[in-house]
Structure 1
Amino acid sequence: MSGPAKTALEALKKHVLASKSKMKKLVTDTAAANGTRAQPARTTTNDSSIGSRLDFGPLASKTRNFNFQLNKNASNSSVKKLAAKDSHKVWSTASVETDAKATDDQIKTKVEKLFKDLEKNMKDK
C-alpha cells in the first residue's frame, strides 16, 4: 500500500470517527446519489488537511459501497503528487451494511470495519 495514501486514509478515519453524526451518515444515508461526497464536507480546509475523501458508491439492497480517493489540493506533498496524476482514481472500495435503526455502538463498529476494509483493499499504484 502506498504510504501517502495510507496516511490520508488514517486522517480521514480520524476525522469521521470523531463525530457520531459523520459516522451515522455513512451507515444510514440511503438517499445520497452515487458519486457524491460522503465525507468530509467539501471545504478547502478539509480537502487540504485531510487530503482524501469518501464518495458514495452504489447502493445495493442493504449495502452501501464507498470509494476512497485522494484530493489534488492536499497539504501533504506526497498525497498531492499522487492525486495530481489522477484525482478521480479510486484507491480503495469497501461497503457497509446500512441500518437506519442502528445504535451508536453498532454504527461505530460498522464504520470501523469500513475503514479496516478500505485499508485492506487499498491499491498500491
Structure 2
Amino acid sequence: MITFEEIKATLPNKWLDYYQINRSWIKPLMDSRSWWRKTTDDGKRPCADIILGAITALEPKLSIWMPPFCQLNSDGDKLIDVLGLHFDPDKELTKREEERAKLPQLNSSEIDEIEIIRQLNNLAKENSKL
C-alpha cells in the first residue's frame, strides 16, 4: 500500500501541471470572487476548494486519506498546508521553468525523443551481439 508521504511527494507537481493548464480560468475566477489566499512565500494561491478538488481528481489514492483528515480538521487551508500545497503556483512554475532551462536534457525542444529511442535500441542490438 502506498504511504501518505509517497502520495504527498507527487502532489506539488501534479497541482502545478493542472494549474498551468487551467490558469486561464482559475485566475479570473479567483480575482472575481477575491478567493486568493496569501502564501508564506509572499505570494498568493487559489482557495483551498479549487486545489482540493483538482488534486483529489488527479491523485485518486488521496481519497483514502481525505475522509479522516476532514474529520480531524475540515479547515481547507490547513489541509492544503498538510498536503504541502501552500505555495504560490505562479512563482513555483517560474522556478520550475528556470530549472528546466538550466538542464537542456529536460528541454523537449532540443531533444527528439524518437531519435533517442532509436539510438537506445541500436545500442541494445549492438550489445546483444557482443
TM range (shorter): 0.3 to 0.5
TM-score w.r.t. the length of structure 2 is 0.36
Higher strand share: 1
Larger radius of gyration: 2
Higher helix share: 2
TM-score w.r.t. the length of structure 1 is 0.37
